[in-house]
Amino acid sequence: MVKVSEFLKQHGKPSREVYLDHENSGWVPPEVVEAMLPYFNQRGYGHPSITNLPGWEAYEVVESTLEKVNKTINARGGELVITHNGTEANNLAIIGTALGSGRERRKIITSAIEHVSILFPARSLEEYGYRVVTIPVDKEGFVDPDMLSMLIDYETLMVSIQMVNHEIGTIQNIKTLVETVKDKDDRIIFHTDAVDAYGRIKIDVEELGVDLMTLSSHKIHGPRGVGVLYVREGVRLKPIMHGALSTQKMWPGVENIPAIAGFNKAIDLTFTNFDDNVKKMKMLRDMLMDGILNNVPEVLLNGPRGDKRAPDNVNISFLHVEGESITVELSLRGVYVSSGSACTSRVLEPSHVILAIGRRYEEAHGSILFKVSRYHNKEDIEYVLSQVPPAIERLRIISPLARESREAVKKVVEV
């Protein structure tokens, strides 16, 4: 196997680069990096649980960040738990609710297009007698409230449905789904994974009525290494990790203070001029989406259009080409995208999200996710649009999938 260092030498550094893989992890702006640096060795480098100056300075970062998160999601009561990423917060939401429930209720309802950090912990509970019911979605990724209502019964412990889908950008109507659940039984816990909603759509936990909600720093141009779980007052949750000192009673281990300081700055940057930022993302999203749909033959848009779609999300299936070969070809041209989700792409499995909206295996394999950001401009998108059509054309010439399809068409024509 070729070592990555060798591969990188061969790849070289493209003269122009546009990073569009903000789904999987992202570019951190200089202001965020600057906000982090003092916390390594100038201030707040202590443990936030300890009563000395560097410890108090560290705790101030935690306190101020939690205040900002509360403000941006309009959380007037309840608690925020800081974890070391969104995956941990989702695990705490699912497993912590099960442990906190006293095993009276054993049914967990989730959707077919959730992130794996929901699906896997939920499935892990099956071994302990819990039943996981996965609700299907329609061809744009929406959950039907009537179907959800039908699935709820006296055994239902919790429902976990994400606010915005990470791959196809579907914005669920969470308020309606929460009402559907609570109308049937207000003791059922409603969790929403809002990792891909935060910073893209307005979130008001009071208005939505959710009990638990997950956020992650690196999805808003903050650094990796900070997740947050919002826990409404009265929700019974038990810790799932135990051990080291932390100010977070639900999550052990010393907090990553430099990363939390960066997340704090990223919140400021994301929520200042929020409406203008969202408007800009939508304009860039539509420019990219229409540019590809109008200029590349045999493509399919995955997910809804317009206001039902996250402002940063473009997901397109390029028929007769492998997604992995597209990411490599575009990378050589300085355009960085992903195929399926990071969680599945390394094992070359088609995305469960794209399959769940009814696409065939070949269509799911050729799906590419582009995520625009407020830091992009029109010239970036023009550059991407100048690279995607020739990249796809080149791959289709050499692709065995395209050859098979051409041969099949030829046979039909001959008959």
Catalytic residues: 343
Q: Which residue is nearest to ligand PLP (CB)?
A: 86
According to CB under 6 A, which residues from 15 to 44 bind ligand PLP?
A: none
Residue in 109, 185, 129, 119 with CA at minimum distance from that of residue 154: 185
Does 315 engage in binding with ligand PLP (CB under 6 A)?
no
Closest contact distance (angstroms) between CB of 116 and ligand PLP is: 8
Closest contact distance (angstroms) between CB of 297 and ligand PLP is: 30
Does 162 engage in binding with ligand PLP (CB under 6 A)?
yes
Closest contact distance (angstroms) between CB of 287 and ligand PLP is: 24
Closest contact distance (angstroms) between CB of 162 and ligand PLP is: 6
According to CB under 6 A, which residues from 111 to 150 bind ligand PLP?
A: 115, 117
Q: Find the part of the chain contacting ligand PLP (CB under 6 A) among 193-201, 260-268, 296-304, 332-340.
A: 193-201
**Helices 323-332 and 378-398, axial angle in degrees (round to 10):** 130
**Nearest to ligand PLP of 86, 169 (CB atom):** 86
Does 352 engage in binding with ligand PLP (CB under 6 A)?
no
**Nearest to ligand PLP of 70, 117 (CB atom):** 117
**Nearest to ligand PLP of 86, 323 (CB atom):** 86
Closest contact distance (angstroms) between CB of 58 and ligand PLP is: 21
* CA distances for 101 relative to 91, 148, 223, 336, 396, angstroms: 15, 21, 34, 44, 53
Q: Which of 22, 166, 359, 365 binds ligand PLP (CB under 6 A)?
A: 166
According to CB under 6 A, which residues from 62 to 91 bind ligand PLP?
A: 85-87, 90
**Nearest to ligand PLP of 26, 46 (CB atom):** 26
Q: Find the part of the chain contacting ligand PLP (CB under 6 A) among 95-103, 190-198, 302-310, 377-385.
A: 190-198
Residues near ligand PLP (CB under 6 A), total = 14
Does 256 engage in binding with ligand PLP (CB under 6 A)?
no
CB distance 101 to 125 below 8 Å: no
Closest contact distance (angstroms) between CB of 24 and ligand PLP is: 6
**Nearest to ligand PLP of 195, 299 (CB atom):** 195
**Nearest to ligand PLP of 85, 399 (CB atom):** 85
**Nearest to ligand PLP of 46, 86 (CB atom):** 86
Q: Which tokens go with 334?
A: 């300085």
**Nearest to ligand PLP of 113, 321 (CB atom):** 113
Angle at 162 between CA 243 and CA 249, to 5 degrees: 20
Does 339 engage in binding with ligand PLP (CB under 6 A)?
no
Q: Which of 21, 140, 196, 329 binds ligand PLP (CB under 6 A)?
A: 196
Q: Which of 65, 101, 134, 216 binds ligand PLP (CB under 6 A)?
A: 216
List residues near ligand PLP by CB under 6 A. Answer: 85-87, 90, 115, 117, 162, 166, 193, 195-196, 216, 218, 227
